[in-house]
Chain A
Amino acid sequence: MPEQYLARNSRTAWRVYDGEAVILRAEDSTLNTLNPVGTLIWEGADGQTPMSALVGRICAEFDVEPVQAERDVRAFVDKLCQRGLLSVTASPHEVP
């Protein structure tokens, strides 16, 4: 599988409490709360970190097999993309 990179929507504001992110979207003030695994992905969605590295972190920090972790990450990323919170690219974002 080709590598992919995740980037947070810049029109969001967020804060992490006890490992759980609370995200506010500027367009419509919708609120999303993520569990610790989702928060790990969200915090790593810097446009520079490959998705495979995030899967690796999840396997290291949580008791889950790589195949299952990758499947879960992709499903989660799809959901956040549909909500307009994340975008996925084939190459890293350029650092300004």
Chain B
Amino acid sequence: MGELSLAIAGLRATIVTRHRDMLDVLHDRYKGFLSPGPADWRIEAEVRRAVGHRADDDVLVSRDGAAGRFVVTRADFAGTVALPVRRASVTFADANEYSIDSFLRILYSLALVEARGLIVHAASLIRSGRAHLFSGPSGSGKTTLARLSTDVTLLSDELSIVRISEGQAHCYGTPFWGELARAGDDSSARLGGVYFLRHGSRHAVNAITPRQALERLLPNVLFFARDPELTAQVLEIAADLIDAVRAFDLGFRPDPGFWEVIDRA
């Protein structure tokens, strides 16, 4: 047996496996987030070729009897997540980074709720000491915006993590990347603003109401569990996030001038 620990947004997970190739994949894929030390979560990982029995590529996260216990399945893996004891077990059809990354995204989307955090489809960047979150679906310009930004610290171009603590929102770097194919920096900063992206012919930033912000944020929260208690907590965290920072509609065209309108907002 071997193990490796990584920490994302302050949550440390130790992955235990007897497969040397999986440890190698984990080491290469998450090298910016490796973090030895006492684990918040323990994940037992196995590889068995026969696990891929489903034809579709959808993720299913369903409650498994006891409160806080979930079964997680996709075509290329099957596992369980037990929130009360912070343990997970998973069997992959193959020890490839895509399958492992997908499972970790799902695990963290569940584990973060207890830590009052969310994974959001958003690019995030630290600029002048404050984090800026740019949210939108695929094709909305998250990676483009990250590419265009200089003098910034990249937290993610695809999936960002926000945690709420004492009425403040902080944004954290993640190894979950989009088209940029580059991990974010393992750092964090207080969130300065949330911007909902749309392509436009000119740069324009307009403040939106908290209700509008919540309506636009929720569809971009990465969350799979069909569980009333967790859903209620996700809504509370999202609402607290919106209460903690100003939210804007950001129309932009692909040039770095959008930072000027953000600075003036």
Contact = CB atoms under 8 A, between A and B. Distances in A.
A33 B215 contact: yes
B232 A13 contact: yes
A11 interface: yes
Contact of B235 (A10, A11, A24, A27): A24
Interface residues of A, number: 18
A13 B228 contact: yes
Contacts of A13: 228, 231-232, 234-236
Contact of B234 (A22, A24, A28, A33): A24
A24 B232 CA distance: 8
A20 interface: yes
Interface string A1-43: 0000000001111110110101011111101010000000000
14 contacts: A11-B231, A13-B228, A13-B231, A13-B234, A13-B235, A18-B209, A22-B235, A24-B234, A25-B231, A26-B226, A26-B227, A26-B228, A26-B232, A33-B215
Given A13-B236, A17-B210, A26-B228, 19 more contacts: A11-B228, A11-B231, A12-B228, A12-B231, A13-B228, A13-B232, A14-B235, A17-B214, A18-B209, A18-B210, A20-B211, A22-B214, A22-B218, A26-B231, A26-B232, A27-B226, A29-B218, A33-B211, A33-B215
Interface of A: 10-15, 17-18, 20, 22, 24-29, 31, 33
The 5 closest A-B pairs by CB, nearest first: A17-B211, A13-B232, A13-B235, A26-B231, A26-B228
